[in-house]
Structures are given as C-alpha cells and as structure tokens.
Amino acid sequence: MMNHISNDSLYLAEHGWLKSKFHFSFAEYQDKNNMHYGTLRVMNDDRISPYTGFGAHPHKDMEIITYVINGELTHQDSMGNKESLGRGAVQYLSAGTGIVHSEKNEGDEEVHFIQTWILPQENGLEPRYGSKIFESKERHNKWLHLMGNDAAIPIYQDANIYVSEVDKGKSLTFALETNRQLYAKIMEGEADINGILFKAGDAATVVDEDFNIVASQNVHILLIEMAKDRPS
C-alpha cells in the first residue's frame, strides 16, 4: 500500500531567511497525529538564503542526516568539525549525549537541503559526526546507499537511506522486503510511482509493495527504509 503525500499538504514555515516544509510535527507546527513514521521522526525540506543560517544550537539523542540538493551548506560543531558540503553530499550527526552545532549558508546562492532525524536505537550514545561527498555517477539511474547497514556511513538505528537521479523516460525499482517500510521524498522533477504522478516536493509512505519509478522528467529522489511499524 502506498500513500501519496502532496507537497501542498505539508506545513510551510516562512521566516524570511528560511523557508521550510515540515513532513512531521516540528517547531511551531504541532500535530499529535503526525509525530513520526516508524523510526523517522523529522523530515524538513529547507531553503536558506545567502549569508544566513542556523546559529549554534544543541541536540541530544537523535540521528540527524542532511542531504544537500543545491548550494553549499557549512556545518560547525562543538567536536571541532567544520566543513562546507555541496550537491549530493551527505552529512551525519549522532547527537547522543549532547552536541552543539550550526548550519549556515556562507555563499551568495540559496542552499536547498533535506534534513532527516531518525530516533536512535537507544539514548545516551557517544556523539559522532561523519560526511561523504559522492560523485553524481554513483546515483545516476541507480540506488546509491548513503547510510545504514553496510553503507558508507553507519547510523545508530536499523534504517537505511538511498538516493537516485533518474533520467526522463528511465525506470527504477526498489524491492521492499517483508516487515520493512519506506518513506520517499521527491526532491526534484516528476515521476510516475506505482501508477501515481508525483511532483517535486511530494512524498509517500509505502508498505507491502515494491516502489516502481518511471521518470516523466529527470527526477531526484530520497528513500528512508526501515523496520515496519508494529500494530498498536
């Protein structure tokens, strides 16, 4: 079963320097019926104006993953890490027992990125930071395994993150295993997914069926794969 979530249905936070679409209850958007999907707690589609950004702020007991779509995002944290990452780069921060970081756009073009928070397998873990810059050919018309089990960057949870850029007219399938579920985000372009037209910004939850893409435009897509929710 697949549930199509339109971009227009997402909460829009506008703060002048920041425009963000919230997929789940976050900050000023409070919805007790939309708190998470499995271990996925937050997905924010963020756009930061030039020479602005999030100043130093704390996090604790959360796996925070950032994927840059366009522009360049500069990260700095209390563990001494500082770097700037561009299109296709992924950044991982396990907040664990506590960490302070900032995320800024130090360039003259808007930076666009997806930030995902995943609940850790347990609290009080040791903080850690990681990042990786991938070449575009690694995600061209195929799934690139960014994070998770046996991926380039591990996380403290049984969850996996994949990305692909699929050319117009090409197709791609993600086979969903038993007792697993997906959350998908269309970052750019349009595609027919399991018979439904998805546009940029749209998302989907998927259980008990495979995920089949036919790109009607060049499409850039992110998947979060995780254990299926247990019946309540």
CA distances from 65 to 136, 169, 197, 207 (A): 19, 30, 27, 23
pLDDT tens profile 146-185:
999 888 888 999 999 999 999 999 999 999 999 999 999 9
Reported confidence tier of residue 230, pLDDT bands at 50, 70, 90: low
What is the pLDDT at residue 232? Answer: 43
Does 211 have pLDDT greater than 50?
A: yes
Q: Are the C-beta atoms of 212 and 193 separated by less than 8 Å? A: yes
pLDDT of 21 above 60? yes
- CA dihedral angle for residue 172, residue 204, residue 180, residue 144, rounded to 10 degrees: 40
Average pLDDT (57-70) is 95
DSSP state of 127: P
CB burial of 184-207 (b: ≥16 within 10 Å; e: otherwise) equals: bbbbebbbebbeeebebbbbbbbe
Which residues pair with residue 180 across a beta bridge? 227
Residues 190 and 199 sit within 8 Å (Cβ to Cβ): yes
Of 2-16, 159-173, 217-231, the one with minimum mean pLDDT is: 217-231
Look up the pTM and report it: 0.95
Give the pLDDT score at 147.
Answer: 94
pLDDT at 149: 85
Compute CA distances 22 → 45, 69, 80, 188, 198, whole Å: 7, 17, 29, 17, 18
Is residue 232 within 8 A of residue 205, CB to CB? The reply is: no
| Mean pLDDT calculated for residue range 180-195 | 98
